[in-house]
Structure 1
Amino acid sequence: MTLQLQNHFEDFEAPRFQSVPVTLFGRYMLESKSEYACQTVEMSPGDMLLFGPAKPNVGEKVIVYLDELGRFAGVATRVDGAGFAMSMNLPALKRDKLADQLTWFANRHAVGLPEDRRHERVVPLMRRANLRLADGREFIVKILDISLSGVGIETEVTPPLGSQVVVGTTPAVVVRHFPGGFAGEFTKPFQAGQVDESTRL
């Protein structure tokens, strides 16, 4: 299905930003105030390709609500039998945040990372650890919990979603932010029986 949709969009103009194939669900509203369900085909910080039942006119304003990313306002730039393309002019902060989120979606798809924690979490006895970010900066952080597949970190540092970090000596990918910290999925999950209260990353 997605491959067919992508073929329909082959003749769209090249986006201003790097697009990634991403399947997200939501709804969109046209200037008529009518709302319809939609699915993204590709997305970048400045453009998105959507599959939806109703087509806007070129130049028409469109508002899109994506379940995992929120609200976006834009203008339809092309219309095709499979859907339409729209451009967005986002503020710099929102554009940078969206770029990080799309990087995470692309990485998650590429390496098959789980979206949610699937393993029991334990609170380690040794809760202080060194955190090294992708740019080489290091911080002492507090480990909230560990599972076979990931770790919860309490810190004021907020590395971008999808970025690579090293907790102690254990590589991980940042998958979720929460107040006061973030969650990371280990690049190489532990095996059953390898994680308990005495585990040190």
Structure 2
Amino acid sequence: MNNHEIDYQLHGDDMQFVEVELDPEETVIAEAGSLMMMDDQIRMETIFGDGSSSNQGGLMGKLIGAGKRVLTGESLFMTAFTNEGVGKKHVSFASPYPGKIIPMDLSEISGKLICQKDAFLAAAKGVAVGIEFQRKLGTGFFGGEGLFFATLRGPGTVWVQSLPFSRLASRIFAAAPERGGSKGEGSIAGGLFDILGGDRK
């Protein structure tokens, strides 16, 4: 399967969303819950896996891929958005957490990107979304990075979140006064304000 070459535009600053432009019959895949808005004549389809050629190896291959996603706490399914109209259409995705959305062209980084498992937001259809196991258990347990990472393979554009939930939660937790956090002047809400770059007066 050839990867779809998709145009896009980023909007916003620390609460960004990405607007993807789809030519007729172009498709973008995304994690469940990331859709912000879309034009008419875009068909939404729930797919088992990511729809890439690497996950089309029969029922057993799909089940193995699904099992890996379950281990990481991810959904078994993704959503594919396809332009079924005659002109260009737009679909937008937003990160559920504050932070930047970072576009990456996999063809420029040897065709593979490893990231936090909840950092993946969306990708051009044809990109394979899998997982990678942290072989050093001590690093996984005590280094704070976890045992599993997401792997994105193939040529094509992917969009990842710069502050996935695991990192946001750990920063809020560290700022809590019960944990000895000094940020936020004694409140978790204040700590979150500082974490996100607020300027206290």
Q: TM-score, with normalisation over the residues of structure 1?
A: 0.28
The structure that is strand-richer by fraction is: 1
Higher relative CO (Cα under 8 Å, sequence separation at least 6) belongs to 2
The structure that is helix-richer by fraction is: 2
